[in-house]
Amino acid sequence: MSKHGYLIDMDGVIYRGSELIPGADRFVNQLLDRETPFFFLTNNSQRTRRDVATKLQRMGIRAEEKHIFTCAMATARFLAKQKPGGTAYVIGEGGLLNALHANGYSIVDSDPDYVVVGEGRTLTFEMAEHATRMIVKGARLIATNMDPNCPTHHGLRPGCGAIVAMLEAATGVKAFSLGKPSPIMMRAARKELGLSADECTVIGDTMETDILGGVQMGCQTILVLTGGTKREDLEHFAYRPDRVVDSIADLYDDGRVATKDAARVKNPLKSLRTDDLILGSVELTIGCSGDHHTDATLSSSPS
Ligand SMILES: [Mg+2]
């Protein structure tokens, strides 16, 4: 039997800050009711899986730790494969520290194998100074993600990518990033769900991470407009999502969303309406004509 599942971004898709996006709970709870495989895929390394699940539960979403896949997990698993039992100097918070410990890493203050940078508010100039000297001495620079900033209730704050940029400029060393759009994180999540690329849809609000990663993996992609991307921004990108919807709430009870009924999801494109299409090639594939394309149209985890 054919199956389908989802990799779902959270910030800007499920919630904004601490506010639930209306209807997101209904959509996710429907996936749970239908036993559709999915992961919440986040580039935020601050929180542990349990922390994230608790936040979602408080918003009325019946998510559990097993539904959460963070860039901190992806980073820690990758390092454990590259150098089992290694050491790391960490600029980051609990989610990242927890994941590294769970994957056999020791956190050290001198001579680390890796300098690992994640999200957080703990950075001091002294930490940047230590990290710079460690990298110059040969420690490898690892980023959980390269997001330049993060939205907050009060506006943007510098993200992990901004901290990494400072260390790159200071040392002349380029970081290796594991978070979205890195195929390392996205492929790991997809494989853990037991899905092929054809069986996986990425839902996100950010073109540069969620949608780019999904396109590069060959998955279906759905952009939601409840986050940072506006419909008019799409023209600036060389790649497009397969669908654009105002909100994830629009996917509730949507015939094109995966259910246990394989026939309905074997080829999600077959049931697209013409006014959902933005890709000329898709129009050709299903034989639509004309001018309708302008209305744009988710173990063994130890951490
Ligand atoms: Mg987002």
Rounded distance from Cα 254 to ligand 1 centre (Å): 22
The residue with tokens 């957080």 is: 120
Residue 51 has pLDDT above 70, yes or no: yes
Same fold, 5-43+196-276 and 74-177: yes
pLDDT of the residue at 1: 52
Domain locations in the chain as residue ranges = 5-43+196-276, 74-177
Rounded distance from Cα 9 to ligand 1 centre (Å): 5
Domain boundaries 5-43+196-276, CATH class: alpha beta
The residue count for the chain: 303
Residue 293 has pLDDT above 50, yes or no: no
Rounded distance from Cα 156 to ligand 1 centre (Å): 13
Question: What pTM does this model have?
Answer: 0.82
- Mean pLDDT, the chain, rounded, equals 86
Contact indicator for 145, 179 with CB cutoff of 8 Å: yes
Rounded distance from Cα 103 to ligand 1 centre (Å): 26
Rounded distance from Cα 12 to ligand 1 centre (Å): 5
Cα dihedral sign, 251-61-299-216? positive
Residues classed as catalytic: 9, 11
Kindly report the number of other CB atoms within 10 A of residue 278's CB atom: 20
Which CATH topology does 74-177 take? Answer: Rossmann fold (3.40.50)
Rounded CA-CA distance 26/251 in Å is 10
Residue 277 has pLDDT above 60, yes or no: no
* Of 233, 239, 199, 195, residue with least CA distance to 215: 239
How does pLDDT run across 230-263, given as a tens digit for each residue? 999 999 999 999 999 999 999 998 766 654 444 3
